């Protein structure tokens, strides 16, 4: 959303945010390999804004949506995410039916087309409703622009986002350490064989590479994957908003690409804000719509996640000393053997290498990727009365050495 703040100035800020969000200057060879697959981000973004504006006009005049006024905002959002589940289920069933049952295939195809069309019609309204709900939660936690009059009750930037098919990301790390040196947004429609081919070509340049999915992207307005659950979507919207907020108002956000540690701080702060705001909105508006999971099932999921985290921590703890001692081939062989052991236990990772660990290691409070940076940020959050206080404290961190002083 472009708001009057000297409209051109805000547009420049948005474009600068985009420019600094895509990549560091990559190695020339990798740049050449990735180029045919990179997402035309600006074109896609402008198309999305135009299509969403047109969709909003259509949905406001569509007779079939008049009944939605009775559902209310919460009902509309719930219907959208129910449709999301139906689209995913019907897509899988249609793929299975293509092999042997033409009649069933036609029925499923019609059902899938209807669900996708209905979902598309609701999408703009759902984005607006969630934007408002997340914005109210951000204000309640004191996440206002710095230096505005107390009690102004103004959130900026708005937590605007698009629900889209999110792009893949190519992450590159050196082989002798775990660190992101460059990253590229790739088109959202890439087959598994194409992604594996990209990884193979990039690793021919003497680096480690992984092509992974993305949940969101902090171009403003943010991109959020249309394939996530309601609960996860709320968290991602707040996470991506945090990147924009930090970039506009604080040294921490503008130092995102300074080095791997600063990138990790940014992502971990956004994770903390995203989790708390997402949970707040979910509990306020949507928790009553979903029956709680049985205690035994919830406990089993929690134990499984904890076990996976323990396995990954153990793997990284073993690999880092090998890399530090330049035993690169030994470390890579260890990671591949560990990947196969994880698969035997039901934890499937397509790739487990330096780039994978570097990508996920930027989220320093997630299970399996906890680090000293994550522990320090959690300690600062525990001492802060609100998220706003927490973000204002850590937002002024301009270098890795500044953080320990805040957690003392």
In a domain, 192, yes or no: no
In a domain, 72, yes or no: yes
In a domain, 284, yes or no: no
Over range 301-308, report the average pLDDT.
77
Range of the domain at 113: 40-140
pLDDT at position 300 over 70: no
Report the C-alpha gap between 331 and 318 in whole angstroms. 8
Contact between 358 and 207 under an 8 Å Cβ cutoff? The reply is no
In a domain, 126, yes or no: yes
pLDDT computed for residue 106 by the predictor: 80
Ranking 37-41, 169-173, 382-386 by mean pLDDT, the lowest is 37-41
More confident residue, 156 or 57: 156
pLDDT at position 18 over 50: no
Residue range 255-277, pLDDT digits in tens: 999 999 999 999 999 999 999 99
Report the C-alpha gap between 60 and 54 in whole angstroms. 10
Q: How many residues does the chain have?
A: 408
pLDDT computed for residue 218 by the predictor: 81
pLDDT at position 22 over 60: no
pLDDT at position 14 over 50: no
| Phi, psi at 288, each rounded to 5° | -70, -20
In a domain, 55, yes or no: yes
pLDDT at position 66 over 60: no
In a domain, 80, yes or no: yes
In a domain, 88, yes or no: yes
Number of structural domains found in the chain: 1
In a domain, 370, yes or no: no
Full strand arrangement of the beta sheet holding 216-217: 161-164, 222-225, 216-217
């Amino acid at each position: 959303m472009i708001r009057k703040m000297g409209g051109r100035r805000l547009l420049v800020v948005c474009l600068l945010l985009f420019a600094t969000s895509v990549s560091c200057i990559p190695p020339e060879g990798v740049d050449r390999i990735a180029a045919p697959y990179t997402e035309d981000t600006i074109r896609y973004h402008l198309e999305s804004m135009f299509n969403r504006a047109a969709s909003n006009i259509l949905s406001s005049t569509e007779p079939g949506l008049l009944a939605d006024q009775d559902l209310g905002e919460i009902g509309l959002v719930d219907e959208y995410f129910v449709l999301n589940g139906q689209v995913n289920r019907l897509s899988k069933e249609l793929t299975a039916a293509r092999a042997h049952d033409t009649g069933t295939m036609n029925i499923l195809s019609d059902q899938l087309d209807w669900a996708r069309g209905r979902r598309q019609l609701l999408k703009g309204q759902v984005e607006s409703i969630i934007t408002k709900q997340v914005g109210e939660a951000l204000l309640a936690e004191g996440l206002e622009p710095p230096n505005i009059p107390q009690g102004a009750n103004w959130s900026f930037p708005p937590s605007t986002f698009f629900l889209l098919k999110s792009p893949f990301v190519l992450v590159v790390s050196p082989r002798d350490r775990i660190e992101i040196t460059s990253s590229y947004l790739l088109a959202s429609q890439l087959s598994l064989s194409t992604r594996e081919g990209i990884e193979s070509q990039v690793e021919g340049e003497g680096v480690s590479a992984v092509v992974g999915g993305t949940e969101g992207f902090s171009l403003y307005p943010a991109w959020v994957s249309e394939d996530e659950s309601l609960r996860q979507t709320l968290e991602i919207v707040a996470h991506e908003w945090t990147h924009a907020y930090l970039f506009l108002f604080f040294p921490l956000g503008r130092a995102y690409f300074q080095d791997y540690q600063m990138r990790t701080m940014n992502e971990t702060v956004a994770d903390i804000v995203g989790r708390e705001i997402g949970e707040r909105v979910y509990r306020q508006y949507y928790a009553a719509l979903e029956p709680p999971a049985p205690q035994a099932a919830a406990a089993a999921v929690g134990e499984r996640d904890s076990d996976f985290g323990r396995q990954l921590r153990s793997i990284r703890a073993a690999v880092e000393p090998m890399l530090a001692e330049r035993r690169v081939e030994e470390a890579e062989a260890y990671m591949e053997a560990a990947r196969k052991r994880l698969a035997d236990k039901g934890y499937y990772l397509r790739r487990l290498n330096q780039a994978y660990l570097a990508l996920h290691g930027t989220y320093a409070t997630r299970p399996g990727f906890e680090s000293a940076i994550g522990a320090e940020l959690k300690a600062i959050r525990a001492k802060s009365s609100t998220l706003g206080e927490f973000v204002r404290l850590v937002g002024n961190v301009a270098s890795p050495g500044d953080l320990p002083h805040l957690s003392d």
